[in-house]
Amino acid sequence: MIPERRTDLADKENIRDYAIGVFDSGMGGLTAVKELNRILPNENIIYFGDTARIPYGSRSRETILRYATEDVAFLKQHKIKMIIAACGTVSSVALDTPIVTDMPFTGVIAPAIEAACKATKNKRIGLIGTPATIKSGSYIHAIANTHPEVMVVPQACPLFVHLVENGYTDFNNPVTRLVAEEYLTPVKNENVDVLILGCTHYPVIADLIGDIMGKDVVLVSAGAEAAKFTKQHLDELELLSDRNEKGKNTYYVSDSTEMFEENAVNFLHENVHGDVFRSDF
């Protein structure tokens, strides 16, 4: 919710031009940024990738919450009007522990569930994510509450984040394909017709995942759905920018800027050289 002091008109006019803050443990949140750039080209975006502490997905709930709280605090040092936790892991563990209370916020879970439940015809949805996401049961509980007729087939894919962060993303990469077949075959055998990519890193290998799952299975990108929700939410709050020129993306990372610049191209399909800065909180 927006705090009261932010709702008067003069404030709102200023806040409209603030940036959208996005964070992830690493590069994965760039899948949300890519969609934001497509649907909200005039918005400024401030991104934080906690590349020094990735992966989050194999850590404890307490550690993930602590990291997420620090990521949020970092973004709040900038002029931002909404925060997206573009990380399936953070979104899962923070589902019942609000990490942002003083400005508009979204994780990826609710937007992804909405899209997946709309797309399924046979009411059988596959879900892939990090071990922490799957262990949290976040998606299963939320779907049971909102769409009890839908069955979920969950599968943790611990190696995917490492493969993607290290650039093993080619459609024909034999290592990634072997790992993907191992993870996805049991899900495919359950005849799901939708697969939620519950970790924001996974859309980078969506072609390969789609090839294994078969062309009839709809892939839902949690990051992209969070971006779509953000547009709708800011619109409802009358906080979309009315800037006439293209917005700017600024990236902060807690580890090497070079590594981020090199790999970001796999996510964004554009060069981010010169827009990436190192930040140690």
For ligand DGL, which stretch binds (CB under 6 A), given 33-41, 52-60, 184-192, 230-238? 52-60
Under the criterion CB under 6 A, does residue 37 sit at the interface with ligand DGL? Answer: no
Strands 276-278 and 249-253: parallel
Nearest one of 179, 70, 54, 62 to 128, comparing CA atoms:
179
Interaction of residue 20 with ligand DGL, rule CB under 6 A: no
Q: Does 71 bind ligand DGL (CB under 6 A)?
A: no
- How do 45-49 and 105-106 pair as beta strands? unpaired
Specify whether the CB–CB gap between 195 and 126 falls below 8 A: yes
Nearest residue to ligand DGL by CB is 57
Per-residue buried b or exposed e for 109-139, using 16+ beta carbons within 10 Å of the residue's own CB: bbbbbbbbbebbeeebbbbbbbebbbebebb
Query: Which residues, 6 or more positions from 5, have their beta carbon under 8 angstroms from its beta carbon?
Result: 11
Residue in 199, 213, 224, 240 annotated catalytic: 199
- Interface pick for ligand DGL out of 51, 130, 136, 221 (rule CB under 6 A): 130
Q: Is 51 in the site for ligand DGL (CB under 6 A)?
A: no
- Please pick, among 87, 116, 142, 218, the residue that the annotation labels catalytic: 87
Verify binding: residue 24, ligand DGL, rule CB under 6 A.
yes
Q: Does 126 bind ligand DGL (CB under 6 A)?
A: no
117 is catalytic: no
Stretch that binds ligand DGL, among 18-26, 69-77, 170-178, 212-220 (CB under 6 A): 18-26
Residue with tokens 């930040």: 279
Tokens representing 63? Answer: 């550690």
Of residues 104, 137, 50, 140, the one with CA closest to residue 226: 104
Q: Is 199 a catalytic residue?
A: yes
Question: Which residues are marked as active site?
Answer: 87, 199
Q: Residues in the site for ligand DGL, rule: CB under 6 A?
A: 24-26, 28, 54-57, 87-89, 130, 133, 161, 199-201
